[in-house]
Amino acid sequence: QLRSIGAKSNCRSIEMSSPASIEVQSQGSASPSSSFFSGSSTAKQPTAEALARWEKDVVVMEESIRLMLGNHLAEAERTLDEASQEVAKREIDFTGGEHDLRGGFALVGAIMSLLNGLASLENNQLDTVLERVWAADELLTADGEWAGRTVLRGLCLLVAGVVQIMQGSITRGVWHVLRSWLFLRYLESDGLNFEGHEKSCVRSTALFALGVFNLFTSMLPPSAMRTAGWVTGFKGGRETAL
């Protein structure tokens, strides 16, 4: 059944996806190689400015999540927006170990919006979340190739798929969830063993993404689980997720 879903959805992928997701489906169809996880561990040592900016951006992420958990959503959104505007003004030296984290900020904001929508049951909230997820994915394409970008783009597909399923678009949702594994499948071997100044961020995000993916797929019927494993090579379930 999932194979037929994938076949039908693939034909309709351009119609149902955002510009950013179209890139994932076209040039990203051949999934990212494990070399994407080499990151700064094989590149030259990051500059002092790159390290300082990284620490500052990570603090923004942590602070926004803290504010969200404290139910200060407006302040959390403002913190992310201000940080994103600052990053947009930078001249980013990718070869010096810098990263464009606007996509990461946008994805955190989208997840906040999802949680807020589930709690408040606001009308059209899921539509807004989906738009924000695709916007985050598009921003991620502006970043250089490194492990964090691969993890976050896989997470964008995963979150988008879950939202689409919640909207009742089962075919589209399942297709995007399965496609996310093309990005996330490298996490267990390469993402969790990533070395570099971004290590803690990559590892924590990888664990979160793997947990969500395993938990979601564990809810599928046994026959669908077997088919999903055949299609994607995925092996896991609820115990792995927890």
Task: State how far the Cα of 173 lies from the Cα of 98, in Å rounded to an integer.
Answer: 33
Residue 35 clears pLDDT 60, i.e. is over it: no
CA 172 to the chain's CA centroid: 17
Residue 51 clears pLDDT 80, i.e. is over it: yes
Percent of the chain whose predicted confidence (pLDDT) is above 90: 31
pLDDT digits (tens, 9 = 90+) for 169-218: 888 888 898 888 888 877 766 667 778 888 888 888 888 887 877 777 77
Confidence of residue 21 (pLDDT cuts 50, 70, 90): very low
**Maximum alpha-carbon separation in the chain:** 53
Confidence of residue 78 (pLDDT cuts 50, 70, 90): very high
Q: What is the pLDDT of residue 140?
A: 93
| Mean pLDDT for the chain overall | 76
74 vs 33 pLDDT, higher one: 74
Class of domain 2-10+46-241: mainly alpha
Q: Whole-structure pTM over 0.85, yes or no?
A: no
Residue 4 clears pLDDT 70, i.e. is over it: no
Q: What is the pLDDT of residue 37?
A: 47
Confidence of residue 131 (pLDDT cuts 50, 70, 90): very high
Any idea which of 12-16, 98-102, 134-138, 229-233 has the lowest mean pLDDT?
12-16
Mean pLDDT over 86-110 rounds to: 93
Task: State how far the Cα of 28 lies from the Cα of 137, in Å rounded to an integer.
Answer: 13
Domain spans, the chain? 2-10+46-241
Confidence of residue 45 (pLDDT cuts 50, 70, 90): confident
Q: Quick check: 46 and 95 in contact, CB under 8 A?
A: no
30 vs 89 pLDDT, higher one: 89
**Sign of CA pseudo-dihedral 138, 68, 123, 173:** positive
Q: What one-letter code names the amino acid at 161?
A: G
Q: Quick check: 43 and 93 in contact, CB under 8 A?
A: no
